[in-house]
Amino acid sequence: ELYNLRQIEADTKVHGVIGNPIGHSKSPHLYNAAFKSVGFNGIYLPLLVDSVANYISTYSSPDFAGYSYTIPHKEDGLKCCDEVDPIAKEIGAISCMIRRPDDGKLKGYNVDYLGAIAAIEEALGASNGAPASVSPLAGKLFVVMGAGGAGKALAYGAYEKGARVVVANRTYGKAKELASKVGGQAIALAELKDFHPEEGMILANTTSVGMKPRIEDTPLAKEALKHYALVFDTIYTPKLTTLLREAQEAGSTIVYGTEMFINQAFVQFERFTGLPAPKQLIRDVLARNT
Ligand code: ATR
């Protein structure tokens, strides 16, 4: 069963995912199973919410320990926090909210980008055997395509890990604005195909180019992909985008968009419980519910 309200006791930590629609969300399956598997006294509910402001002011009792946020409420959620993590503020959206046990205040975070960065690091670490203490992204040239919410998140994430960031965007002005915030370089997306100052770069696509139904489209010409050691795509419908397929053909390591979601679930679980995430169980639950 998904959850059982009779299991709520005085010290049960109640969580929920705020979205609209919410019926399709895999998060309740994932977190309830994961809480149970590590013996954490917690429960996780799907919350169909129209207005985050109304929900937080009317229904969010101090008994709620934390929330996840999903479409379309990640931006509204940010406005309803008592405190916001600085990176979430820059990105302009939160993915989770945690109640501080000492004063009951709700603090918002964005861990979506941590999921993407962790997936990329794992793929790089696995291929070059770098020690866990030093990010395999440190010193790398990290090219982010797109400068929207996801582009900002990836650019800040890479910057935090010591990468040299390049922002490539269709609208050059937005690339420039974001690049200046992370001490990076800006380039028009159309010119990225001729940009290869060095080999072994990292590429992350955060544009919607290649998403269903236009799955033949790709944000970067195939000829350019050989300069990249690793290519990540935030798109997960389809799982194997044209960009990822061509990158694979060019010999790059590829990281699927689905890995971003799985890894951010690990991060959120750890924030909610203070315990290490049961990674294999989470992967299994997601595989069963897709
Ligand atoms: P998200 O929150 O998923 O990042 P967004 O904020 O709407 O979504 O950002 C969409 C990104 O995809 C933008 O960088 C956008 O480029 P512009 O800033 O020039 O609009 C990019 N994008 C969308 N459609 C595109 C297309 N057909 N070609 C190139 N870039 C595109």
Same structural domain for residues 78 and 122? no
* Ligand 1 pocket, residue 176 CB under 6 Å: no
Residues 96 and 131 in one domain: no
Q: Which atom of ligand 1 is nearest to the CA of 150?
A: 4
Whether residue 223 is found in the same domain as residue 152: yes
The rounded Cα 211 to chain-centroid distance in angstroms is 17
Asked if 250 and 122 sit in the same domain, the reply is yes
The whole-number pLDDT of residue 124 equals 93
132 and 219 in a single domain? The answer is yes
Q: What is the dihedral of CA 139, 144, 150, 153, to 10 degrees?
A: 20
How large is the ipTM?
Answer: 0.97
**Of the residues 13, 74, 152, 161, which is catalytic?**
74
pLDDT per position as a tens digit, 218-256: 999 999 999 999 999 999 889 999 999 999 999 999 999
Sequence-distant (6+) residues with CB within 8 A of 288 are 29
Range of the domain at 155: 113-255
Number of domains composing the chain: 2
Which pLDDT belongs to residue 171? 98
Query: Is residue 209 domain-shared with residue 91, that is, in the same domain?
Result: no
Are residue 242 and residue 273 in the same domain, yes or no? Answer: no
191-219: pLDDT as tens digits:
999 999 999 999 999 999 999 999 999 99
Determine contact, residues 27/44, Cβ cutoff 8 Å. yes
**Which pLDDT value is given to residue 189?**
98
The model's pLDDT over 34-52, given as tens digits with 9 standing for 90+, comes to 999 999 999 999 999 999 9
Ligand 1 centroid–CA 209 distance in Å is: 8
How many Å is the Cα radius of gyration of the chain? 20
Same domain (yes/no): 30, 164: no
CATH number at residue 17: 3.40.50.10860
95 φ, ψ (degrees, to nearest 5) = -115, -15
What is the CATH classification number for the domain harbouring 215? 3.40.50.720
Alpha-carbon span 67 to 17, nearest angstrom: 5
